[in-house]
């Protein structure tokens, strides 16, 4: 029976993996089409501005010619028949040209509206594909994570719940990284490609400007490299593996202070020691999430971070001096305060303690404690 179930899971995994690839292709195709529509829409808006300017100019010409025609009709005895015919022809031509330009403007505006609707639909498609990718990844992780073993245990429900929490945390982390890469390096790289194409054209048209363009590109590449290094550090700080939690947090706070202009002070109490790798990663992520909340919501000019080593517990405290908030309301609204709820769930996975104390206008204290009665050697 177990062999049959294993074979079914294996075949199901293959089918899901194939579907995941299809969803990924749909998402990538939609992104490419979205970029094409964005470029076309940008050019179309430029064309609309130009045609509006032409319509305004032609409208003045048409009114001027109409006025002249009325003048000729009133004082026809002053003009020859040829002058009257020429005036009529010019007025008619001006009117026809104005109508053509107006019709062109209407068509361009209609095309713009169609493109904007298509873009909205493309964004919806991409979002649906991303959500499907997340759900499919969760299904794959659940199947690969040992459903068979879970079915054979007495604590099936608890194990499934814990597994789902882990998968949820993993998927949120993946989405965060994907969002950072999309909004940061991916956008910059697209800009670099565009700038290189411009430099390529300038090489033929105006070589003297190419040097300045390449200098700007070099600065852009350096900035992009910094973004990539920051994302890599956020994924897995090398200092965490080599030196431990304190140096990793210290380096993170240095970067945080530089990026957000918020003064950070790290305080260490007790005898510093290495923890189990999973605990060090958890502590780092918890501090990272807490600092992210400070940057987004606290409006505080200073943050105090304490790391306290006790015999059986490791405690981290994050205190800001910002605007504060209603803790009960925040914790009862997980959809709006996912960061705090995620921190609590991560602490609970380690059988730890989590608390938040906040006063409106006086700041917030986040305190989390993780059992650390087992020490790890060097991390792997």
Q: Across the chain, what does the average pLDDT equal?
A: 79
Classify residue 265: in a domain, yes or no: yes
The CATH number of the domain holding residue 265 is 3.30.565.10
In whole angstroms, how far apart are CA 158 and each of 140, 141, 148, 163, 164?
Answer: 19, 17, 15, 8, 10
Confidence of residue 150 (pLDDT cuts 50, 70, 90): very low
- Measure the CA–CA gap between 1 and 7, rounded to whole angstroms: 10
Q: What's the pLDDT score for residue 82?
A: 86
Q: What's the pLDDT score for residue 296?
A: 84
Q: Are 305 and 287 in contact (CB under 8 A)?
A: yes
Give every CB contact of residue 365 below 8 A, 6+ residues apart in sequence.
Answer: 317, 318, 319, 356, 357, 358
Using a CB cutoff of 8 Å and minimum separation of 24, what contacts does 189-194 make? 189/224, 190/35, 191/220, 192/217, 192/220, 192/221, 192/224
Number of Cα atoms under 13 Å in the Cβ half of residue 49 = 6
DSSP secondary structure letter of residue 78: G
Which structural domain range is residue 58 located in?
2-230
- Measure the CA–CA gap between 318 and 341, rounded to whole angstroms: 16
Q: What's the pLDDT score for residue 236?
A: 61
Q: What's the pLDDT score for residue 378?
A: 36
Do 312 and 335 fall into the same domain?
yes
SS3 of residue 363 by DSSP: strand
Q: What's the pLDDT score for residue 265?
A: 95
Q: Which of 202, 230, 258 is the last residue of a domain?
A: 230
Q: What's the pLDDT score for residue 260?
A: 87
Do 275 and 206 fall into the same domain?
no
Q: Dihedral through CA 37, CA 171, CA 294, CA 278, nearest 10?
A: -150
Q: Are 52 and 105 in contact (CB under 8 A)?
A: yes
Q: What is the mean pLDDT of residues 137-152?
A: 54
Q: Which of 295, 289, 190, 212 is nearest to 249 (CA)?
A: 289
What one-character-per-residue DSSP string does 198-248 give?
A: HHHHHHHH-GGGHHHHHHHHHHHHHHHHHHHHHHHHHHS-HHHHHT-HHHH
Do 137 and 22 fall into the same domain?
yes
Max mean pLDDT range (121-125, 176-180, 237-241): 121-125
Number of Cα atoms under 13 Å in the Cβ half of residue 9 = 18
Q: What's the pLDDT score for residue 8?
A: 67
Number of Cα atoms under 13 Å in the Cβ half of residue 47 = 16
The predicted-structure confidence for 21-56, as pLDDT tens digits, reads as follows: 777 778 788 888 888 888 888 888 889 999 999 999
Element containing residue 41 per DSSP (H, E): helix 2-74
The predicted-structure confidence for 322-377, as pLDDT tens digits, reads as follows: 999 888 887 776 555 567 777 887 788 778 899 999 999 999 999 999 987 544 43
The predicted-structure confidence for 54-95, as pLDDT tens digits, reads as follows: 999 999 999 999 898 888 888 878 888 888 888 889 888 988
Do 208 and 271 fall into the same domain?
no
Maximum pairwise Cα distance, the chain: 113
Max mean pLDDT range (31-40, 213-222, 308-317): 308-317
List residues bridging with 355 in a β-sheet. 367
Identify the residue with better confidence: 119 or 142: 119
pTM reported for the whole predicted model: 0.45
Give every CB contact of residue 307 below 8 A, 6+ residues apart in sequence.
Answer: 245, 246, 249, 266, 267, 268, 269, 283, 314, 315, 316
Confidence of residue 302 (pLDDT cuts 50, 70, 90): very high
Do 264 and 219 fall into the same domain?
no
Q: What's the pLDDT score for residue 208?
A: 79
Residue 248 scores a pLDDT above 80: yes
Do 82 and 220 fall into the same domain?
yes
Q: Into how many domains does the chain fold?
A: 2
Do 192 and 214 fall into the same domain?
yes
Do 213 and 257 fall into the same domain?
no
Residue 147 scores a pLDDT above 50: no
Classify residue 379: in a domain, yes or no: no
Identify the residue with better confidence: 35 or 158: 35
Classify residue 380: in a domain, yes or no: no
Identify the residue with better confidence: 166 or 22: 22
Sign, CA dihedral 99-105-106-111, equals positive
Q: Which of 181, 206, 230 is the last residue of a domain?
A: 230
Classify residue 376: in a domain, yes or no: no
User: In the block, which residue shows the tokens 């982390």?
Assistant: 173
Q: Catalogue the E-assigned strands of the chain.
A: 263-269, 302-309, 313-320, 353-359, 363-371
Do 64 and 201 fall into the same domain?
yes
Q: What's the pLDDT score for residue 380?
A: 31
Instruction: Pick the range with the lowest mean pLDDT from 99-113, 150-164, 290-304.
Output: 150-164
Q: Which of 184, 205, 230 is the last residue of a domain?
A: 230
Classify residue 377: in a domain, yes or no: no
Confidence of residue 300 (pLDDT cuts 50, 70, 90): very high
Q: What's the pLDDT score for residue 316?
A: 95
Do 260 and 129 fall into the same domain?
no
Q: Are 150 and 61 in contact (CB under 8 A)?
A: no
- Measure the CA–CA gap between 380 and 236, rounded to whole angstroms: 12
Do 208 and 285 fall into the same domain?
no
Q: Is 32 exposed, middle or buried (0-12, 13-18, 19+ CB in 10 A)?
A: exposed
Do 163 and 17 fall into the same domain?
yes
User: In the block, which residue shows the tokens 């994924």?
Assistant: 235
- Beta strands 313-320 and 353-359 are unpaired
Confidence of residue 154 (pLDDT cuts 50, 70, 90): very low
User: In the block, which residue shows the tokens 């040992």?
Assistant: 146
What does the buried/exposed string (b/e) look like for 161-184 if buried means 16 or more CB atoms within 10 Å of the residue's CB? Answer: eebeebbebebeeeeeeeebeeeb
């Amino acid at each position: 029976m177990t062999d049959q179930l294993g074979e079914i899971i294996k075949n199901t995994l293959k089918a899901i993996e194939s579907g995941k690839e299809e969803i990924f292709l749909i998402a990538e195709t939609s992104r490419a089409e979205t970029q094409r529509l964005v470029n076309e829409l940008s050019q179309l808006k430029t064309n609309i501005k130009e045609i509006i300017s032409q319509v305004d100019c032609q409208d003045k010409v048409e009114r001027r010619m109409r006025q002249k025609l009325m003048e000729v009709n009133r004082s026809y005895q002053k003009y020859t028949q040829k002058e009257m015919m020429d005036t009529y022809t010019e007025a008619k031509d001006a009117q026809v040209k104005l109508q053509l330009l107006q019709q062109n403007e209407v068509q361009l505006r209609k095309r713009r509206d169609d493109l904007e609707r298509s873009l909205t639909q493309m964004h919806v498609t991409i979002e649906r594909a991303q959500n499907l990718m997340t759900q499919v990844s969760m299904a794959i992780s659940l199947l690969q994570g040992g459903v068979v073993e879970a079915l054979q245990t007495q604590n099936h429900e608890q194990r499934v719940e814990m597994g789902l929490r882990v998968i949820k945390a993993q998927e949120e982390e993946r989405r965060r990284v994907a969002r950072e890469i999309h909004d940061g390096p991916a956008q910059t790289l697209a800009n670099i490609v565009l700038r290189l194409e411009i430099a390529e054209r300038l090489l033929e048209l105006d070589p003297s400007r190419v040097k300045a363009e390449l200098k700007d590109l070099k600065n852009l590449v350096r900035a992009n490299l910094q973004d990539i290094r920051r994302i890599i550090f956020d994924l897995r700080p090398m200092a965490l593996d080599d030196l431990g939690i304190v140096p990793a947090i210290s380096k993170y706070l240095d970067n945080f202070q530089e990026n957000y202009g918020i003064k950070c002070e790290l305080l260490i109490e007790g005898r510093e020691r290495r923890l189990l790798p999973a605990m060090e990663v958890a502590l780092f992520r918890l501090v990272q999430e807490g600092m992210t909340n400070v940057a987004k919501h606290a409006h505080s000019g200073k943050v105090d971070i304490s790391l306290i080593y006790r015999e059986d517990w490791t405690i981290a405290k994050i205190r800001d001096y910002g605007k504060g908030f209603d803790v009960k309301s925040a914790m009862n609204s997980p959809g709006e305060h996912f960061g705090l709820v995620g921190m609590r769930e991560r602490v609970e996975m380690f059988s730890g303690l989590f608390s938040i104390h906040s006063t409106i206008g006086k700041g917030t204290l986040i305190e989390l404690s993780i059992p650390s009665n087992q020490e790890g050697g060097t991390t792997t």
